[in-house]
Chains A and B, each alone.
Chain A
Amino acid sequence: MTDLPLSINETQEGLIKKKFSAVELVDSYLERITKDNKDLNIFLTITGEEAYKKAKEVDKILRYKDIKILSDFPLLGVTVAYKDIFLTKGVRTTAGSKVLESYIPPYSATVVDRLEKAGTIMLGKVNCDAWAHGSSGENSDFGKTKNPWDNNYVAGGSSSGSAAALSANMTLTSTGTDTCGSIRLPANFNYLVSLKPTYGAISRYGVIAMASSLDTVGPMGRSVDDVRRLFDVMKGEDGFDSTVKNINWQKQVKPKLKIGIAKEFLEEGLDPEVKENIHKAIKVFEKLGIEIKKVEMPSTKYAISVYYIIQTAEVSSNLARFDGIRYGEKRTFFGEEAKRRIMLGSYVLSSGYYDAYYLKAMKVRTKIRNEVDTIFDKVDSLIAPVAPTPPFKIGEKTNDPLKMYLTDIFAATANLAGTPSMAIPYGFSKNNLPLGFQLLGPRFSEYTLFALGEMFEKETGYKPQVAKI
């Protein structure tokens, strides 16, 4: 196949109309992976054998020309690449770390199970910053992932491989995790749509924990429609992650929507290209008849500080289980960033510093959360950049951890408040690198965000695009 379909709709239509078979789809994706993976370093494990087995099952199901096929298997024939932090039964799962280089999980994550049952075909496990610690993909113990749009640039992290696999057209969909922008940032750097869901919307069972009060898992795709279809399958209680809530989802969207704009997100510390682009996006929403309302978020400037105290504290505790006895290798196998975060976390939790750092950060988190909640009493969504700059060059921030941490300055608020946010691609920089923005919403407002995203796609004539490589 020369032209791979770029959406779920197109893929399933092609399968049902017999334009191509699932086996042929797998052929094409594996061919692309084989050709470009060495250079871009996206897949850590390729599960070709399993993919063919599943594709044959999919082709078998397709023979029963029943219209019910898609209600029984809503994601029939959809290929997926899992960030290598999702446990996959019998398939190596490394979390991007040498500590787990040879770890083979005995069970699969809830999300993996659900996507499997919905008819997806797993192509493999993709690279990420080790333990999901990073904003660029450069912290993987298995080498950095390059951005397929321009391989001198970072793919964005920590779900670097999940995004690059899509822009390199090596899969139709992927999954990621977002503790502070790790789904949204790489999506933004690769011209993709992605959702960081409400904390408690999707089970994290079987996903290696980073910072448990902030971790979320979510889908990545090339359109709002694809992301929504994945979300529909992934969401809801599973009996294994007690933070998940079953919600009576409000799919009907209010006729008059309001989007908030905050100067804290749109003026300070922004690259001029990103700034100009987001103001153009705001105009599009205005044209759609959406009321744009100014709001104030004075506490968001503390979000990164709060985040880097709470997150590292939780990291130091979650990574304590890697003692070389139960899972994988000894602690000497931890890479530099993991060590840095474990040290920071242990420091802010240690005797004499707990009140000044950890407890203080938890209190400021309350302040930020209250501020966010008050704003969402007035508006349905907030528009913000995903990152302060377009994709940056490989190596540009690696010697300065603080500079790297500040990449996530616009991402932190949604994680601290436990609210959803969707990254949407929009335009390209003068260097022809992807740009975009994020739409934040109140807890469990995913379907409003999808509706806003689709209105935007329609108005701008959005078409999925992959990098030319």
Chain B
Amino acid sequence: MGSLSKDDVLHVAKLAKLTLSPKEIIKFQEQLSKIIDYVSQLSEVDTLNLGPTSQTTGLENVFRQDEVKPPSFTNDGYFAVDKILNKEE
């Protein structure tokens, strides 16, 4: 593990919809390889009985009360809402 080929760099750039200059391709290939090489140290850690952490709060499925609120104003029996676009925009 730990080194990216030029094709890897181009593939990842394509996935991320980024356009790279030829200079950037060379630079990123070198820099990303170095970083990936460093983070590959994680392979030495024993994680056999550990689950992944995706959050730290312990909160799950946070919902608000589903309350029906009266409209702020009506017009001719219809709901009326605030204008969302201003003239200058």
* Residues in A lying within 8 Å of B, measured CB to CB: 199-200, 213, 239, 242-243, 245, 299, 302, 305-306, 308-309, 316, 320, 323, 331-332, 334, 336, 339-340, 342-347, 350, 356-357, 359-367, 369, 401-402, 405, 416-418, 443
Most A C-beta atoms less than 10 A away, residue of B11, B13, B42: B42
In whole Å, how far is B21's beta carbon from the nearest beta carbon of chain A? 10
Which residues of B come within 8 Å of A, CB atoms?
1, 4, 8-9, 11-13, 15-20, 24, 28, 31-32, 34-36, 38-43, 45, 47, 50-57, 59, 62, 64
Q: How far is the CB of A59 from chain B (nearest CB, A)?
A: 31
Q: Which B residues are CB-close (under 8 A) to A347?
A: 4, 8, 12, 32, 36
Apart from A340-B31, A342-B18, A401-B31: 10 A-B pairs, beta carbons within 8 A: A299-B45, A305-B41, A316-B16, A332-B19, A334-B18, A342-B16, A343-B13, A343-B16, A366-B52, A367-B50
Q: Known contacts A309-B39, A343-B16: does B52 contact A242 (CB below 8 Å)?
A: no
- Say whether A242 contacts B59, CB under 8 Å: yes
Are A360 and B42 in contact (CB-based, < 8 A)? yes
Cross-chain contact of A346 among B16, B40, B47, B55 (Cβ < 8 A): B16
- List of B residues within 8 angstroms of A299 by Cβ: 45
Residues of A within 8 A of B62 (CB): 242-243
A308 contacts B35, C-beta separation under 8 Å: yes
Contact of B52 among A239, A365, A401 (CB under 8 A): A365
For the complex of A and B, the 5 pairs showing the least CB-CB separation, nearest first, are A418-B56, A362-B52, A363-B47, A242-B62, A305-B39
**What's the Cα separation between A245 and B56 when bound, in Å?**
12
Q: Is the CB of B52 within 8 A of A417?
A: no
A-B contact pairs, 21 of them (CB 8 A): A199-B56, A213-B54, A308-B38, A309-B39, A316-B16, A340-B31, A342-B18, A343-B12, A343-B18, A343-B28, A345-B16, A346-B12, A347-B32, A350-B15, A356-B1, A360-B45, A361-B42, A362-B52, A362-B53, A365-B53, A369-B56
Complex-state Cα separation, A308 to B28, whole angstroms:
16
**Given known contacts A363-B51, A402-B34, A405-B35, A302 and B59 CB-to-CB distance under 8 angstroms:** no
Q: Of the candidates A308, A331, A345, A405, which one forms a contact with B17 in the assembled complex, judged by CB atoms under 8 Å apart?
A: A331
Q: What chain B residues lie within 8 Å of A405 (beta carbons)? A: 35
A199 to B59, CA, bound (A): 11
Known: A331-B17, A356-B1, A366-B50. A344 touches B57 (CB 8 A): no
The interface residues of chain B lying within 8 Å CB-to-CB of A344 are: 32, 35-36
Q: Which residue of A lies closest to B34 (CB)?
A: A402
Distance in angstroms from A448 CB to nearest chain B CB is: 18
Contact B42 A305 (CB under 8 A): yes
Q: How many contacts A-B (CB < 8 Å)? A: 124
A340 contacts B57, CB within 8 Å? no
Chain B residues within 8 Å of A343, by CB: 9, 12-13, 16, 18, 28, 32
B56 near A339 (CB under 8 angstroms)?
no
Nearest A residue (CB) for B51: A366
In the complex, A251→B57 CA distance in Å?
20
B57/A245 in contact, CB under 8 A: yes
A362 to chain B: which residues have CB within 8 Å? Answer: 52-54
With A and B bound together, what is the CA distance between A401 and B62 in angstroms? 38
Cα distance, A347 to B36, chains bound together (Å): 9
Q: Report the minimal beta-carbon distance from B62 to chain A, rounded to whole angstroms.
A: 4
Q: Determine if A200 and B59 form an interchain contact, defined as CB atoms under 8 angstroms apart.
A: yes
A239 to B62, CA, bound (A): 10
CB proximity of A151 to chain B, nearest CB, Å: 28
Residue of B nearest to A403 (CB): B34
Residues of A within 8 A of B24 (CB): 336, 339
Q: Which of A342, A350, A360, A366 contacts B43 (CB 8 A)?
A: A360
Q: Report how far A213 CA is from B40 CA in the complex, Å.
A: 21
The smallest beta-carbon distance between A303 and chain B, in angstroms, is: 11
Say whether A364 contacts B42, CB under 8 Å: yes
Q: Is A339 in contact with B18, judged by CB distance below 8 angstroms?
A: yes
Residues from chain A with a CB closer than 8 A to the CB of B13 are 343
Report the minimum CB–CB distance from A266 to chain B (whole Å).
Answer: 21
Q: Once the chains are docked, how many angstroms separate the CA of A363 from the CA of B51?
A: 6
Which of A239, A316, A340, A342 is in CB contact (< 8 Å) with B64? Answer: A239
**CA–CA, A306 to B50, complex, Å?**
14
Chain B residues closer than 8 Å to A306, beta-carbon distance: 42
Enumerate chain A residues within 8 angstroms of B32, measured Cβ to Cβ: 340, 343-344, 347
* Cβ-defined contact, A302 with B16, below 8 A: no
B55, A243: Cβ atoms closer than 8 Å: yes
| B12 A308 Cβ-Cβ under 8 A | no
CA distance A443 to B59 in the complex (A): 14
- Among A339, A366, A402, which residue has its beta carbon within 8 angstroms of that of B53? A366
- Asked if B16 and A402 sit within 8 Å, CB to CB, the answer is no
